[in-house]
Structure 1
Amino acid sequence: MQDLVRATTLAGVGEFITQMGADLNRWFRDVGIDPDLIGDQSNFVPYSAVAAVVARGARDLRIPDFGLRLSKVQDLSIMGPLAVLARNSPRVDTALHSFITYLYSYSPAISNELRTGPSTSSFEFDIQIRNVASPDQMVERAVGVILGMFQLLVGPDFCPTEVTFRHAPISPVPIYEQFFGSPVRFGCFANAVTFPTSLLVLRREGIDEVTRSMVLRMLEDTYRENLDDRIRELVRRLLPARRADLTDVAHTLAVHPRTLQRNLDNRGTSFGQIVEEVRKDLALELLAIPEMPLALVAHQLGYSEQSVLSRSCQRWFGTSPRRLRGRITSTIEVVPTD
Structure 2
Amino acid sequence: MRSSPPGSPPADPRYGSATITSHLLRYLSVVAAERGHDLGPALRRAGLSEAALSAVGLRISYRQSSQVIREAMSELGDPALGLAVGRRQRVTAWGLVGLGLQASPTLFDAVALGVRYHGLTGSMLDYRLESVPGGAAILPTARYADYELQPFLIEEAFSSTVALIRCALHDDFAPHAVVVRHPCPAYGDEYERYFRCSVSFEAPDDRLVLGTDWLERPLPGADAYTVAQVVGLLESARTLGRERQDLVEGLEVSVARSLPHVPPLTHQAQARAMSERTLRRRLAECGTTYEALVDSVRLVRAEELLTAGDMPLGRVAELLGFSDARTLRRAVTRWFGVSPSEVRRRGAAPARPETAVCARRTVS
Equivalent residue for 1:87? 102
CA displacement at 1:117 relative to structure 2: 2.3
Q: 1:190 aligns with which of 200, 205, 221?
A: 205
Identity %: 18
Equivalent residue for 1:52? 67
Indicate the SS of the match to 1:113. strand
Alpha-carbon separation, structure 1, partners of 2:116 and 2:55? 22
Indicate the SS of the match to 1:202. coil
Q: 1:67 aligns with which of 57, 82, 96?
A: 82
Alpha-carbon separation, structure 2, partners of 1:62 and 1:105? 30
CA displacement at 1:80 relative to structure 2: 1.8
The alignment status of 1:179 with 2:202, answered yes or no, reads: no
Structure 2 runs not aligned, ≥5 long: 1-13, 247-303, 305-318, 320-364
Alpha-carbon separation, structure 2, partners of 1:41 and 1:16? 21
Written as runs of structure 1 = structure 2, the 5 A alignment for 1:33-48 is 33-48=48-63
Q: 1:137 aligns with which of 147, 152, 159?
A: 152
The alignment status of 1:156 with 2:201, answered yes or no, reads: no
CA displacement at 1:85 relative to structure 2: 0.7
**Normalising by the residue count of structure 1, what TM-score does the alignment of the two structures yield?**
0.61
One-letter code aligned to 2:152: Q
Alpha carbons of structure 1 residues 12 and 106: separation in structure 2 relative to 1, 3 Å: closer
Alpha-carbon separation, structure 1, partners of 2:239 and 2:126? 18
The alignment status of 1:110 with 2:128, answered yes or no, reads: no
The number of aligned residues is 233
Alpha carbons of structure 1 residues 54 and 108: separation in structure 2 relative to 1, 3 Å: closer
Alpha-carbon separation, structure 2, partners of 1:76 and 1:52? 26
CA displacement at 1:108 relative to structure 2: 7.1
Equivalent residue for 1:253? none
Cα displacement string for residues 67-108 of structure 1 (whole angstroms, at most 9, x for unaligned residues): 111212222333221111111101122112212222233347
Cα displacement string for residues 113-138 of structure 1 (whole angstroms, at most 9, x for unaligned residues): 11212313211223213447622112
Cα displacement string for residues 292-333 of structure 1 (whole angstroms, at most 9, x for unaligned residues): xxxxxxxxxxxxxxxxxxxxxxxxxxxxxxxxxxxxxxx9xx
Equivalent residue for 1:170? 185
Alpha-carbon separation, structure 1, partners of 2:38 and 2:213? 46
Written as runs of structure 1 = structure 2, the 5 A alignment for 1:5-20 is 5-20=20-35
Written as runs of structure 1 = structure 2, the 5 A alignment for 1:1-338 is 3=17, 4-107=19-122, 109-131=124-146, 134-226=149-241
CA displacement at 1:65 relative to structure 2: 0.7
Structure 1 runs not aligned, ≥5 long: 232-288, 290-330, 332-338
What CA RMSD, in Å, does the superposition of the two structures yield over aligned residues? 2.8
